[in-house]
């Protein structure tokens, strides 16, 4: 049998079987660079966006390193949201099905802590969960996290955003001096530096080229809206699209609820995922979403970092994100792997500044609008501003040519000045147009 591309990592044969079962044909860049480093058990900072294969990059080597004869925690993985922790647990469980004898347990908030204390009596070798629950179990002596030799912090920048980095800090302080840390984050904000400096001395640093330029398999569209017309235009857009699964992102819970009410009134069956749901409601919603009971799902920004749903064909940004980094996280939910995706952003005039910031990061939009129940190309959103800038420049150039009355200003002077200025501008435009025509004829 021919060698599998993952054989170069010298992983256990059972884990190669697990990879084959997942139909992984080639390691991704993050897997190529991270797997060997974790196998060597070094301190690591990994900067990588969503959808790059990061989960398997650290789970494959961690499961490989686990000694099945030692019935104590050997590695801990903390994630900022329950959904993300659940997804990591599912990935780890799949690998544990192939490497027999590996015990993986999930500990997250929103569940009965007394049941978790009972479950922790049989110490798992791989601990996955949210930092607050793991820290609570460690404080009571139920979970022996101090014995772990590796701590992985996933989505560290979101840990900062959610105020969870102190909980992670408490877990890290319990580890032995010989233990190692791997911290993964889409961005490295300044607020994360104190934690990194405290625990990671001369770490290996892996930065994967960000997806701040258009992915080849994602089409980016920009649709203008005005005020209240945004919901009406969203309904028209939904009538045109026929997605396999579409996530509609809003900036806030209130915005998500308002949109959901309007779309429900329009007869649309929707899924919902945001921080306002109870743990049970969120779990039920995720189950229904994964069972494809909905064609459309409305989500908030924080939820966008904690959900990973297969088959998302479309993303709609109902609101342009206030934090531009979230644009990358949102659109990264579609066009994953070999699949194509569509990312549509609705914007109102007051959101143009954020659109410009997104474009400065390398994204290129096709400007479209809905006309006669079809999506049709229109002029670029910044055309008017570009024309205004040229007109302002022309105004400044011609002001000195208008004869000013240096004596007492007569009634109506300002209006006369403006008329004279506009007359000169029209003359200059005619001259420019004639010049352009002459040049065109010569060619």
Domain count, the chain: 3
Bridge partner residues of 220 (DSSP): 343
- Mean pLDDT of residues grouped by 10 in the chain (443 residues)? 84 95 90 96 88 89 97 97 90 96 94 94 97 96 96 93 92 93 90 93 84 70 85 91 92 89 90 80 85 90 68 93 82 82 93 90 90 89 54 54 49 63 66 58 52
d(CA 295, CA 8): 41
Pair 65, 115 in one domain: yes
What is the pLDDT, as a whole number, of residue 90? 93
Pair 236, 200 in one domain: no
Please indicate, yes or no, if residue 89 is contained in any of the structural domains: yes
| End residue of a domain, out of 184, 207, 230 | 207
Residue from 179, 420, 230 nearest 344 by CA: 230
Pair 228, 318 in one domain: yes
Pair 414, 334 in one domain: no
Please indicate, yes or no, if residue 388 is contained in any of the structural domains: no
Pair 269, 321 in one domain: yes
CB proximity list for 93: less than 8 A, separation 6 or greater: 104
Pair 203, 222 in one domain: no
What is the pLDDT, as a whole number, of residue 217? 85
pTM (global) more than 0.75: no
What is the pLDDT, as a whole number, of residue 2? 57
Please indicate, yes or no, if residue 389 is contained in any of the structural domains: no
Helix pair angle (229-240, 253-265), 10° resolution: 60
Please indicate, yes or no, if residue 392 is contained in any of the structural domains: no
What is the pLDDT, as a whole number, of residue 17? 95
Please indicate, yes or no, if residue 271 is contained in any of the structural domains: yes
Residue from 257, 333, 334, 354 nearest 300 by CA: 257
Pair 149, 71 in one domain: yes
Pair 203, 223 in one domain: no
Please indicate, yes or no, if residue 387 is contained in any of the structural domains: no
Pair 250, 287 in one domain: yes
| End residue of a domain, out of 181, 207, 233 | 207
What is the pLDDT, as a whole number, of residue 413? 58
| End residue of a domain, out of 178, 207, 236 | 207
Pair 348, 404 in one domain: no
Pair 199, 223 in one domain: no
Question: Residue 410 is part of which domain span?
Answer: 397-442
Pair 134, 264 in one domain: no
d(CA 184, CA 152): 8
User: CATH number of the domain that 146 lies in?
Assistant: 3.40.50.300
What is the pLDDT, as a whole number, of residue 211? 47
The full length of the chain comes to: 443
Q: How far is CA 439 from CA 185, 430, 432, 436, in A?
A: 54, 14, 11, 5
Please indicate, yes or no, if residue 11 is contained in any of the structural domains: yes
DSSP state of 295: S
Residue 131 C-alpha from the chain's centroid: 21
Please indicate, yes or no, if residue 386 is contained in any of the structural domains: no
């Amino acid at each position: 049998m021919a060698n599998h591309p993952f054989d170069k990592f010298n992983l256990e044969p059972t884990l190669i079987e697990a990879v084959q079962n997942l139909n992984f044909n080639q390691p991704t860049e993050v897997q190529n660079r991270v797997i060997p480093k974790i196998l060597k058990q070094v301190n690591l900072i990994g900067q990588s966006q969503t959808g790059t294969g990061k989960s398997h990059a650290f789970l494959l080597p961690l499961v490989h390193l686990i000694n099945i004869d030692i019935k104590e925690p050997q590695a801990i993985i903390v994630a900022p949201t329950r959904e993300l922790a659940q997804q990591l647990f599912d990935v780890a469980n799949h690998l544990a099905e192939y490497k027999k004898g590996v015990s993986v347990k999930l500990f997250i908030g929103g569940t009965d802590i007394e049941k978790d204390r009972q479950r922790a009596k049989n110490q798992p070798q791989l601990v996955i969960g949210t930092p607050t629950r793991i820290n609570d179990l460690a404080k009571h002596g139920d979970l022996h996290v101090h014995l772990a030799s590796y701590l992985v912090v996933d989505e560290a920048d979101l840990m900062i955003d959610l105020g969870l980095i102190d909980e992670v800090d408490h877990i890290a302080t319990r580890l032995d001096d010989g233990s190692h840390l791997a911290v993964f984050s889409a961005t490295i904000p300044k607020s994360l530096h104190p934690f990194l400096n405290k625990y990671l001395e001369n770490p290996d640093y892996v930065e994967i080229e960000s997806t701040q330029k258009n992915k080849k398999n994602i089409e980016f569209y920009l649709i203008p809206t005005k005020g209240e017309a945004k919901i009406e235009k969203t309904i028209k857009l939904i009538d045109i699209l026929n997605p396999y699964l579409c996530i509609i992102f809003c900036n806030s819970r209130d915005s998500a609820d308002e949109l959901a009410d309007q779309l429900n009134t329009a007869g649309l069956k929707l899924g919902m995922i945001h921080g306002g749901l109870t743990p049970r409601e969120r779990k039920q919603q995720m189950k229904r979403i994964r069972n494809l009971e909905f064609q459309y799902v409305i989500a908030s920004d924080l939820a966008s970092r904690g959900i990973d749903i297969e088959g998302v064909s479309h993303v709609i940004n109902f609101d342009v994100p206030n934090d531009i980094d979230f644009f990358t996280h949102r659109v990264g939910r579609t066009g994953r792997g070999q699949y194509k995706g569509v990312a549509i952003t609705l914007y109102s005039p007051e959101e143009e500044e954020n659109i410009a910031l997104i474009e400065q990061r390398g994204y290129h939009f096709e400007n479209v609008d809905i006309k006669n129940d079809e999506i049709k190309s229109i002029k670029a959103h910044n055309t008017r501003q570009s024309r205004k800038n040229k007109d302002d420049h022309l105004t400044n150039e011609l002001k000195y040519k208008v004869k000013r009355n240096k004596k007492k200003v007569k009634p109506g002077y300002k209006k006369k000045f403006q008329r004279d200025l506009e007359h000169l501008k029209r003359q200059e435009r005619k001259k420019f147009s004639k010049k352009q025509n002459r040049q065109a004829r010569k060619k």
